[in-house]
Amino acid sequence: MREEVIRAGEILQQWGVVALPTETVYGLAADARNDIAVRKVFKLKGRPSFNPLIVHVKDLEAAEQIGHFSEVARHLVQVFWPGPLTLVVPLKKEAGISGLVTAGLDTIALRSPAHPLAQMVLSQSGLALAAPSANVSGTVSPTSAEHVRQGLPDVDFVLDGGATAKGLESTIVQMGEGDKEIILLRPGPITIEALEAACGIKVVSLEQDQDAPVSPGALLKHYSPKAAVRLFAQDHRPGEGVLGFGAETVGRDVPFYNLSEQEDLNEAAQRLFAGLHWMDAQGVSGIAVRPIPNQGIGLAINDRLRRAAAQ
């Protein structure tokens, strides 16, 4: 694997694009300071230019070369990094980050991934890496190298790290004025309860402008499979597969993928995108999704499902 990491680092240094594993989903990585490399990411994904990217860094020291961190933001980093928490902070103009990464905003989204291969690539390349999910924009995020190969066959290199551990993209937050509150921009594996417990500050949610989002993952229609998604489904209709949650059996002729037989929300989060990919592979016309509790990481699961079901 060391040889693969070295190759990934070399490709990134030569303005190439590498799909690599993080603990959340696979990212499509490029040098965040290089316009040519970042433009390749947007082209491969078909991503709208107004949608900013997350920049992945090795640690807080590297992050503070790019953005300004308040006292509370720094505390959150100390508690949750490396890990699935992205912070949107004021951008340091002298950092040299491509304007394509920030979509022209004066803020930047920063994260330090926990996956050992991602950390190795960051060290090997010596770069800050812009790395949105490694899929065509708007489609289901990849949680395996095979998902990437199927969805983005033209990527320069895929670093295979197996299935991702969390299965959902990172939680994204921004500090409110005067550090008096934490603004939740996208729910994810780090829950509201965990954020509030870490610093004793209230977390409030923000609905973002669809035409000028301040963070990734804010578009109404996103994470969408080919099949139509029907939420809170208690029944099954002809042509549909069933995305289950809890102990359940369906007819033998019905495609069925159980997110968690034990009703474990963490397991359901880890399996969600894999389940949507699997459903598409079955050729179903629709996906009936059983109700999932809207608490803890269930908030993030339902956020992804709501966007997947949007017309």
pLDDT band at 211 (very low <50, low <70, confident <90, very high): low
Q: Which residues pair with 17 in a beta bridge?
A: none
The DSSP result for 145-197, as a single string, is HHHHHHH-TT-SEE----S-SS-SPPEEEEEPGGGS-EEEEE--SS-HHHHHH
Question: CATH says 2-205 is which class?
Answer: alpha beta
Contact yes or no for 222/138 (Cβ under 8 A): yes
* Model pLDDT, residue 90: 97
Instruction: Identify which has the larger pLDDT, 1 or 51.
Output: 51
Which tokens is 34 given? 């290089």
- Please say if the pLDDT value at position 222 is more than 80: no
* Model pLDDT, residue 129: 98
What residue segments make up the domains of the chain, in order of their start? 2-205, 228-309
* pTM over the 0.85 mark: yes
- Please say if the pLDDT value at position 206 is more than 90: no
**Mean per-residue pLDDT, 73-102:** 97
* Model pLDDT, residue 249: 81
Residue 267 burial (10 A CB sphere; 0-12, 13-18, 19+): middle
- 133 DSSP 8-state letter: B
pLDDT band at 219 (very low <50, low <70, confident <90, very high): low
pLDDT band at 212 (very low <50, low <70, confident <90, very high): low
Distance CA(245)–CA(257), nearest Å, equals 9
* Model pLDDT, residue 252: 81
Instruction: Identify which has the larger pLDDT, 211 or 252.
Output: 252
* Model pLDDT, residue 210: 65
* Model pLDDT, residue 311: 72
Which tokens is 100 given? 């394509």
- Mean pLDDT of the residues in the chain: 94
CATH of region 228-309, choose from 3.90.1170.50, 3.90.480.20, 3.40.50.11030, 3.90.79.10: 3.40.50.11030
Contact yes or no for 234/265 (Cβ under 8 A): no
**Mean per-residue pLDDT, 81-108:** 96
CA distances from residue 106 to 76, 78, 92, 215 in whole angstroms, order as listed? 21, 24, 8, 12
Residue-wise pLDDT tens digits, 139-151: 999 999 999 999 9
Strands (E), 3-79: 18-21, 26-31, 54-56
Residue found by looking up tokens 């912070």 in the block? 87
CA distances from residue 234 to 153, 178, 225, 285, 292 in whole angstroms, order as listed? 37, 46, 20, 17, 12
Contact yes or no for 151/136 (Cβ under 8 A): yes
**Mean per-residue pLDDT, 20-49:** 97
- 136 DSSP 8-state letter: S
Could you tell me which of 77, 51, 83 has the C-alpha nearest to residue 64? Answer: 77
The residues, ordered by sequence, that sit 6+ positions from 153 with a Cβ below 8 Å of its Cβ are: none
Which tokens is 171 given? 């939680």
**Mean per-residue pLDDT, 25-53:** 96
pLDDT band at 205 (very low <50, low <70, confident <90, very high): confident
**Mean per-residue pLDDT, 22-42:** 98
* Model pLDDT, residue 147: 97
Residue-wise pLDDT tens digits, 102-120: 999 999 999 999 999 999 9
Residue-wise pLDDT tens digits, 223-244: 789 999 999 999 999 999 999 9
Instruction: Identify which has the larger pLDDT, 178 or 301.
Output: 301
Distance CA(259)–CA(223), nearest Å, equals 16
Distance CA(164)–CA(179), nearest Å, equals 33
- 266 DSSP 8-state letter: H
**Mean per-residue pLDDT, 271-282:** 97
